[in-house]
A and B are shown apart, each in its own frame.
Chain A
Amino acid sequence: MARNRKNEAAGVRFGPAIKAVLLCLFIATAAIGFVWQKSQIGALGKEIKERELKLGELRRQNDLRSRQLALMCSPPTIDARVRELQLGLVPMQPGQIVRMVELPYDGVQVTMERPVASAVRGGANNP
């Protein structure tokens, strides 16, 4: 007579097997996760380092350009350049300056005064 193996001691017991498989899976997943995480940390660390180097280089370039700009804007350089290019630029003359005079009535009224000499002669209000 055929025996039902399910009910025998030697029969395959799925419960523990599944548990073992799950445990193995968990351990394997945890191990893979750990390694992946470590690899990610390493990769991100490398990326941080690269970006820090890039930032340092950009700062250096920025400094270099700031220096170049400062040099180009410095009065001695501008003066020398004007001479070199013979642009014919001269300091502005007092008569070439238009001064804005605020009159003390009707709120803030602004008029343009030119030439300066007329204001001085006529004793106009100083701003």
Chain B
Amino acid sequence: MVMSVPFRRLLTLALLLVTAFCALGYRLVDLQVLRHEELRDLAKNNTHRKINFEPKRGEIRDVRGNLLATSVFVKTVCADPTLLGAHAPAVARAIAPLLEVNESELLARLQPRLRTNELGVLVTNRYVVLKRKVKVETWQSIVDTMEDLKLPVDEKALTKAERGFYRNLRTKAIFPDVVDDQLRIYPNESLAAHVLGYVGTGEREVDGEKVIETTGIEGIERVLNAKLGGVRGWRMTETDRARRELVAYREQEIQAKDGLNVVLTIDAGIQHIVETELAEAMKKHTPISASAIVVRPRTGEILAMATLPTFNPNDPGASQEAHRRNRIITDLSEPGSTFKIVVVSGALNERLVTLDDRFDCERGNFYYAGKLLRDHHAYGVLSVEEIITFSSNIGSAKIAFKMGEQGLYDYVKAFGFGERTGIPLTGEVRGIVHPVKNWNKLSISRIPMGHEIASTPLQMVMAMSAIANKGKLMRPMMVDRLEDSQGHAVVKYQPQMVRQAVSEAAAREMVTALKTVVSDKGTAAKAMLDYYTVAGKTGTAQKPPYAPGMYFSSFIGFFPADNPELCISVVLDEPKNGYYGGTTAAPFFHGIAERSASYLNLRPEKPVPDQQFTTTTNQKSKSGLLAARRH
């Protein structure tokens, strides 16, 4: 059969159409079925975005709400060298002052570099970090500078493509990283630096992406890092060609949960008083270090803790490592005569002695186990109270003989020596308390005067606080509560008693003895206060290798003696211009105590002369509101 020409043409056309449709159908099947997975991922990568939300690190505040540490979001400024062309030097010159980096160094970073990637393809770097932790205000200045950047070309005379290049140079060549970084700020600089600690920056991988993370390195920042850190959030969304977010296509959104705010027991006002007094001590006695702690004996709350030399946590790298160490919990020393409170209160508790019992102090020289034990004065017969008043080594050794080695050891342990106090700070050491089996014959005569034993200043102040607190040894409290970002309390910490070290009666008798130390006849007359009775003990211990001039001088006292509000310890390591605790540390106890009492508005115990309400010219001090009122 012969087909007509029109029919053949029709058939050919039909065949062509069928072939075309088959080809299209195959393409459709190829795209939608065979390459479905691959193309779906490709399409998703082009449009879908995961935006990470950084949680704001919690703030640290003092007990009155004063801000001690906070965080601000900052930018990581990056560059795409491929978009700069030959204008890299002009860009470097313009933004180097804003970034506070060297211009030539910046220019070197803005140069495109070629490298072969893992697939063997030659690629150029399109992501160069220029500077981290740039404040938002600085970033805004960079944006403005780039917009107004003067380049040696007439952009109006350029082609459309060339104008596009310059537009990209101004708007896209310098850009911020998509994930905001954080900068930790300590507004009071070195105030309470050893308590707060400082943070560092680390890189961590989250879901295959590298994220910059702020982590506590020392102090409260480290101990409560998990609480301060918060929880990261994210958003799954889509973007258009220009990578602008299409809000309507948001899929999943989990808001970041900011870190909890930490409220410390520290009082910034008292901390400032302590630090200014210690600064004076450093000036006057030039010790290696000066430390002080202020504790509320009833609860164990630490109101101030300071060590000088100190550091600025905003820039911890600028200080020496030794200055960053919290000596109050990390440094051990023989406590010296302040340790006599342990042996005497132990003996009083066991009813082995009373305050009126008398001991022969051998005119200052006492041979025991073939070695000479000395007092700094040739005391004769002293009562137990006077042994404390005059700080007799021989007297306290004789009291220890009555207790026996095991008895003495038990009380040393009962007051918390040889174990960590449990303060929520890193680096605390246990101290050294040898077991009785390792004692030599001299130990029982040396330990009562604070030798052959090593403790931290914190252990010593907590032991003294136990005497002030009716014999109850408290755990030091540093954190009062944790709050959410709206200020609602999430966790409230309560005072914890460790143990009843001695009975209330023994503690009361010990207070009576300690009151005589801070009197005209005692070793700490310079610690006396005008309106409050003070109880306390001086300490002057020689430091290894026991060379002349190497002393550890201290004074620990509390007031009002019969209803203590504050227990204060001042420790000077190798003071010059005097070395007795009563002459070097006690005056600074006086300064801290008097100013703190005024600041806390403590009710005076002693009669107060009437004073005018208006400040007279004579009363005006040049040294400021929180300054010391010296008499």
Binding site for B on A (CB under 8 A): 41-42, 44-46, 48-49, 60, 63-64, 66-67, 70-71, 73-80, 82-83, 86, 88-97, 99, 115-117, 120-121, 126
Contacts and interface: CB of A to CB of B under 8 A. Distances in A.
B272 A79 contact: yes
A45 B73 contact: no
Contacts of A83: 622-624
B623 A46 contact: no
Interface in B235-293: 245-248, 268-269, 271-272, 276
A74 B187 contact: yes
A117 B66 contact: no
Given A71-B67, A76-B272, 17 more contacts: A63-B70, A66-B67, A67-B185, A70-B70, A74-B191, A75-B66, A75-B268, A83-B622, A86-B622, A90-B615, A90-B620, A94-B604, A96-B611, A117-B609, A120-B606, A120-B607, A121-B607
B247 A74 contact: no
A28 B361 CA distance: 114
Interface in B44-73: 66-67, 70, 72-73
17 contacts: A41-B248, A42-B248, A45-B247, A60-B72, A64-B72, A66-B67, A73-B66, A74-B188, A75-B271, A77-B188, A79-B276, A83-B622, A86-B622, A91-B598, A91-B625, A93-B611, A96-B611
A82 B624 contact: yes
Given A79-B625, A96-B613, A117-B607, A90 B247 contact: no
Contacts, number: 124
B609 A90 contact: no
Interface of B, helix, strand, loop or mixed by DSSP: loop
A120 B187 contact: no
Contacts of B185: 67
A63 B603 contact: no
Contacts of A80: 624
Q: Top 7 nearest A-B pairs by Cβ distance?
A: A45-B247, A70-B67, A95-B611, A88-B620, A91-B598, A117-B608, A75-B272
A115 B531 CA distance: 14
Contacts of A99: 603
A88 B615 contact: yes
Determine which residue in A42, A76, A79, A116 has the highest number of CB atoms from chain B within 10 A of its CB, and name it.
A76
Contacts of B136: 60
B629 A91 contact: yes
B214 to A, nearest CB: 16
Given A83-B623, A117-B610, A71 B615 contact: no
Interface string B590-629: 0000010011010111111111110100011111111101
A90 to B, nearest CB: 5
Contacts of B66: 70, 73-75
Contacts of A41: 248
A84 B294 CA distance: 28
Contact of B598 (A49, A63, A78, A92): A92
A78 B273 CA distance: 12
B426 to A, nearest CB: 25
Interface in B164-181: none
B607 A63 contact: no
A123 to B, nearest CB: 12
Residue among B191, B245, B608 facing the most chain A CB atoms (10 A cut-off): B608
A75 B629 contact: no
A79 B188 contact: no
A44 B567 CA distance: 62
A116 B608 contact: yes
Contacts of A92: 598, 601
A95 B612 CA distance: 8
B603 A116 contact: yes
A116 B604 contact: yes
A80 to B, nearest CB: 7
Contacts of A96: 611-613
B272 A88 contact: no
A89 B603 contact: no
Contacts of A120: 604-608
A78 B7 CA distance: 103
Contact of B73 (A60, A71, A73): A60
Given A49-B245, A95-B609, A78 B625 contact: yes
A63, A75, A89: residue with the most chain B Cβ atoms closer than 10 Å: A75
Contacts of B624: 79-80, 82-83, 89
B268 to A, nearest CB: 5
B586 to A, nearest CB: 21
A76 B272 CA distance: 6
B94 to A, nearest CB: 25
Contacts of A115: 608-611
Contacts of A82: 624-625
A58 B615 CA distance: 43
Given A70-B66, A83-B624, A76 B191 contact: yes
Contacts of A76: 188, 191, 268, 272
Contacts of A90: 615, 619-621, 625, 627, 629
B67 A45 contact: no
Contacts of A45: 246-248
Nearest to A64: B72
A74 B70 CA distance: 14
A45 B247 CA distance: 5
A88 B191 CA distance: 24
A45 B245 CA distance: 9
A37 to B, nearest CB: 10
A97 to B, nearest CB: 7
A97 B625 contact: no
B67 A67 contact: yes
Nearest to A42: B248
Contacts of B620: 88, 90
Contacts of A93: 598, 608, 611, 619, 629
Contact of A75 (B73, B269, B605, B611): B269
B611 to A, nearest CB: 3
A49 B185 CA distance: 29
Counting chain B CB atoms within 10 Å of each CB, the highest count among A73, A74, A86, A89 belongs to A74
Nearest to B189: A76
Contacts of A60: 72-73, 136
